[in-house]
Structure 1
Amino acid sequence: MLKRLIYLLVFVVISLTTAIGCAAPHAGISRLGYAIQVGAFSEVKNAERLTAQLQIRGIEAFYFKKESGIYAVRFGDFPSKDAARKEARKLVSDGLIGAFFIAPPQDVFVKREAVVKREPEASLGRSPEEPRKKRPEPAKGTRDMGQIAARTAERFVGIPYRWGGDTVVDGMDCSGFVRAVYNLCGVNIPRTSREQFRVGDSVGREELRDGDLVFFGASSESINHVGIYVGDGKFVHAPRRGDDIKVSSLDESYFAKKFMGGRRYL
């Protein structure tokens, strides 16, 4: 009887360990709740200024360029619309923000097999200097969040890299950029590139799809840079503080040597 009990306990422990191991790849990734969006700025410096003011208050805010070309600021991950509205009204009463919009959660966890399929990428060997072809927008009625993430990242290209990250002084690093893009797509991901590398599904270079994250470093234990894959062997990233968000190629010598793999969250 005792032996049977021991065997049963061992079986339960092994089963739980296996289950935890299977769930681990997506630990730290969650659906974003309600967010507060403010501003409609024609000049990026005004969005930058408001972002800095919010960060001084300890609010993890970021600014971005909308499809219309207007800049806005977004922040927060609230469990309900009422909670987001309450915080926004408090900030209004404090004179920190004006009119605001509550962005609802997005239905982001969908099967990729259900979306419109595209032709395989055929230009991974194209030189970095050759202009990129504009990637197609997701077909109407589909929810290919990978494509949406990639197109969202491309809207950041050319924006000055002067954002604040956890603090205004430190500035927003490359991982903060990809986190901002995924937030806009309704997904919460870890803060640092090393943490981001540890979650999601591992993807090789030949398997990369729009919206996957691409990681670089001296080794898999020393990840120090991340970007968002946008097709044709290209990725969007924040190179360094003071520089603009830009597109680079995985074929460039530095990135080819430092490439450690991709991760898929969507």
Structure 2
Amino acid sequence: MHLSGTILVFWAAGLVGHSLLLIVLLVRHRTRAFPIFTALILCNVLNAVVLYLVAVYGSKHDYLVTYFGFAIIDFILQLGVTYELARHLFCPTGTWAPDVRMGIMLLSGVSVLVALALASLPVPPERTVLGTLLDRGNLLSSALQCQLFVGMIAFSTIANLPWKTHVARIAQGLGLYELIGILTEAGHNLTVRNSMAFESLTYVRMSAYLACLAYWIVMLWRDAPEPRELPEDIRKFFFTLRIKVEYDLRKLRAFKR
């Protein structure tokens, strides 16, 4: 396969970006908190290297098959990242609140149905089965992930949960990229016979992802904001309450004796 200069530039930028992000995750010890996100970034590093080798030494069919295989792995890992972020956000102590868990399950079900509906809309036919599967799969993945991340943001806002942590930074980047992915995939379906417009939309999506990588590199290198301290009057209330409880417990033990 022949790779254009522009594609090679995007390939090199993506490989460098993913490698830098992986280094940040390892050096700053973020892998402990985000093992699935780390696996996703590592998979993207391997994806870039393997696809480049297949593109240079293999056929177009080999490239499509390899790309499709990595796309499935990427989709599964993205779903895992969604769960990982939700667990950090809504289950920090290890126990899910029943109402939040039910809301997340309902959101997931609705998101799947909407994503399947969007992916099943009629589009111009592709020349190959793999091409059709890739187009439908990309649209399905973008629609599903975008809805899940928007729903997570809405749930966290309603529940007044912290939204300035590393969890938030990862979710914000993925959510914005998936939203752009929906728009570019829709544009691909409309411009499939206009090769210049089709390629331009592909470059827009790649550029958006590179911007997300740069955002993650900076934000995950920085320390998360310190949690806000309780107001002085609230702290005094809890201090007084603790003393009162200890006093009542001592009286209860003395009474039992």
Coarse TM-score class (shorter-chain normalised) = under 0.3
TM-score, length basis structure 1: 0.24
More strand by share: 1
More helix by share: 2
TM-score, length basis structure 2: 0.25
Q: Which has the larger radius of gyration?
A: 2
